[in-house]
């Protein structure tokens, strides 16, 4: 079984300031890691993902995340946020030992990022 | 990236009626699709896994007879909310996997009066 903990339910930040959204996970097997963004009344959009290789992954809209296996973390960062980044952000993991074609996700509870003008 | 669509994007229905929601993978095939329910200000709750050509797998506590799932082809899964009641009002989202990644539909807002 896996679990995902997003340590902050809400993160207010001023426009053009840097931001870090924290995500920790627990799993007994190797996992794939994802960050999704959800704007109001919309589905989830993939921001970035870690499957293998370099532990620093870059995504859309200037976001990046670093996979830290020893700390079981996958924190999301952006050096300078914009008003348009205001949204809900979800960290998720999948067990890639489940076999091809499945990749069921376990989600964190989400972090509401509010960018203040 | 892969694209998943949902139809309708919103629906309002009377209590006791049934509502069908479609989930389509537009540019890839998916033998498995997932249906989620999301309550306001909460994370996604997995309802069921839709399997092409076989029965869906439901999560604990989800009523199979109320939430009927059909995965008729490699690009289409449908969720039918039968005899809907106001407590079924929610945001329903589907997803489909492609290349080790889940891609989500835009969601369907269901309001039952």
**Residue A2 confidence (pLDDT):** 85
Is any Cβ of chain B less than 8 angstroms from the Cβ of A101?
yes
* Summary mean pLDDT of chain B: 94
**Residue B72 confidence (pLDDT):** 87
**Residue A99 confidence (pLDDT):** 54
Residues 2-31 of A with CB under 8 A from B: none
Minimum Cα–Cα distance from B99: chain A residue: A101
**Residue A100 confidence (pLDDT):** 47
CA distances from A48 to A85, B31, B73 (A): 15, 24, 29
Inter-chain residue contact A101 with B104, CB threshold 8 Å: no
CB environment A13-28: b (16+ within 10 A), e (fewer): beeeeebebbbbbebe
What are the tens digits of pLDDT across the range B28-71?
999 999 999 999 888 999 999 999 988 999 999 999 999 999 99
Minimum Cα–Cα distance from B98: chain A residue: A101
Reported confidence tier of residue A104, pLDDT bands at 50, 70, 90: confident
Computed on alpha carbons and rounded to an integer, the radius of gyration of chain A in Å comes to 14
Reported confidence tier of residue A1, pLDDT bands at 50, 70, 90: confident
Interface with A, mutate which of B104, B106, B111 (most A CBs under 10 A): B104
**Residue A97 confidence (pLDDT):** 65
**What percentage of residues in chain B have a pLDDT greater than 90?**
88
Q: B20: closest CA among B74, B69, B61? A: B69
**CA atoms of A68 and A55, how far apart (whole Å):** 7
């Amino acid at each position: 079984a896996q679990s995902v903990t997003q340590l902050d339910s809400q993160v207010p930040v001023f426009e053009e300031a840097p931001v870090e959204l924290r995500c920790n996970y627990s799993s007994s097997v190797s996992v794939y890691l994802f960050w999704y963004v959800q704007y109001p009344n919309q589905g989830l959009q993939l921001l970035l993902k870690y499957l293998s290789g370099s532990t620093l992954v870059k995504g859309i809209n200037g976001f990046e995340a670093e996979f830290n296996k020893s700390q079981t973390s996958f924190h999301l960062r952006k050096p300078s946020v914009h008003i348009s980044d205001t949204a809900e952000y979800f960290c998720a993991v999948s067990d890639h030992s489940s076999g091809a074609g499945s990749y069921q996700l376990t989600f964190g509870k989400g972090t509401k990022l509010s960018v203040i003008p | 990236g892969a694209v998943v669509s949902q139809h309708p994007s919103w629906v309002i229905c009377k209590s006791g009626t049934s509502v069908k929601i479609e989930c389509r993978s537009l540019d890839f095939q998916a033998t498995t699709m997932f249906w989620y329910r999301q309550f306001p200000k909460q994370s996604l709750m997995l309802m069921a896994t839709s399997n092409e050509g076989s029965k869906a797998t439901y999560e604990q506590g989800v009523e199979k007879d109320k939430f009927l799932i059909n995965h008729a082809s490699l690009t289409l899964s449908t969720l039918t909310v039968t005899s809907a009641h106001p407590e079924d009002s929610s945001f329903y989202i589907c997803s489909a996997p492609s290349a080790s990644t889940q891609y989500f539909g835009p969601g369907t807002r269901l309001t039952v009066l």
